[in-house]
Amino acid sequence: MKLLTGNSNKKLSEKIAKYLKERLVNSSIRKFKDGEIYIEINENIRGNNIFIIQSISSPANDNLMEMLLCIDALKRSSAKNITAVIPYFGYARQDRKVVPRTSISAKLVSNLITKAGADRVVTIDLHAGQIQGFFDIPVDNLFATPIFARHIKKRIKSKNIICVSPDVGGVARTRGLSKFLNSGLAIIDKRRPSPGRSEVMNVIGNVKDKCCIMVDDIIDSGGTIVNAAKVLKEKGAKEIHVYITHGVLSGDAVNKIRKSTIKNLVITDTIDNYNKIKNAKNIEILSVSNLMGEAIRRISNSTSVSFLFK
Ligand code: R5P
């Protein structure tokens, strides 16, 4: 087994390598003056099973292209097997045509990864589980829920917890967490009048005097979560904690969270946000490195990955 990292999230790659007691493959990823990406693998990888670790996070186009070029370079260097480990699978939010004449970016990106030469994909909390079916190669979709559940059990002592899905699409994920915590479930009826804007229409369930735990896959502008938290407070929620796997955190999101009624936002390190959040006291990062490392070990040994979630 060998591990190769792209530039998107070297910290996470290093942590995964540490967990596996492996080193990262010696490679150079550079840019020509016009911005084109140039990859060179500086050691023999012929016949190896290679795991290339790269998030499709901002700058998404560069990071995606970097991953595709790495896969291509690995294939042309006679790697035996190539697994694309994609902690944050960007371009996943366009997974169907919601209005006429739009693209389905999740399908296009799946085609690109497969065509470049990947034999398998490992990711965590895909925006929609059915994206696995966009690939004709195996996809292992891991879940951050057990990491979140452990953190909640350690940190939140309230006996009056309710898990809240910030939109109808997130109900299955939220139900998963509520099972771990043995708690109730509430659902927010969210509408998007236009891209990037969200409106809360209704809260289904009673949140009065409850300690609300909202869970989602992505926080981007922060609009969904901040609006939801405001309405939960208006409905009498006692305190609001938020657990989100992928901290996209674009624009003013960190500030919005800082000033919001949210007591604590926990994200993971699928995207490198350590600098962005350093002045935000109510934002915390948990690492998925051990989980991803263990999944890589199990794939490499041909043992069960789903066992990690039993
Ligand atoms: C939407 O379906 C996703 O699960 C997130 O709720 C959404 O991407 C969050 O976006 P924002 O933070 O910009 O409201």
Residue-wise pLDDT for 257-310, tens only, equals: 999 999 999 999 999 999 999 999 999 999 999 999 999 999 999 999 999 998
Catalytic status, residue 190: yes
Q: What is the number of domains present in the chain?
A: 2
Task: Answer yes or no: is pLDDT of 192 > 90.
Answer: no
Q: Residues with Cβ < 8 Å from 294, sequence gap 6 or more? A: 19, 308
Number of the ligand 1 atom closest to the C-alpha atom of 220: 12
**pTM strictly above 0.75:** yes
Is ligand 1 within 6 A of the CB of residue 90? no
Q: Which of 131, 191, 220 should be mutated for ligand 1, with most atoms under 8 A from CB? A: 220
How far, rounded to the nearest angstrom, does the alpha carbon of residue 124 sit from its chain's CA centroid? 5
283 and 294 inside one domain: no
206 and 300 inside one domain: no
Is ligand 1 within 6 A of the CB of residue 216? yes
Domain CATH code at residue 215: 3.40.50.2020
pLDDT of residue 191: 84
Task: Note the helical H segments in 2-59.
Answer: 10-20
pLDDT of residue 194: 77
Is ligand 1 within 6 A of the CB of residue 223? yes
105 and 119 inside one domain: yes
Kindly report the average pLDDT of the chain as a whole number. 96
Task: Please name the amino acid found at residue 77.
Answer: S
Domain holding 215, by residue range, is 145-287
Is ligand 1 within 6 A of the CB of residue 219? yes
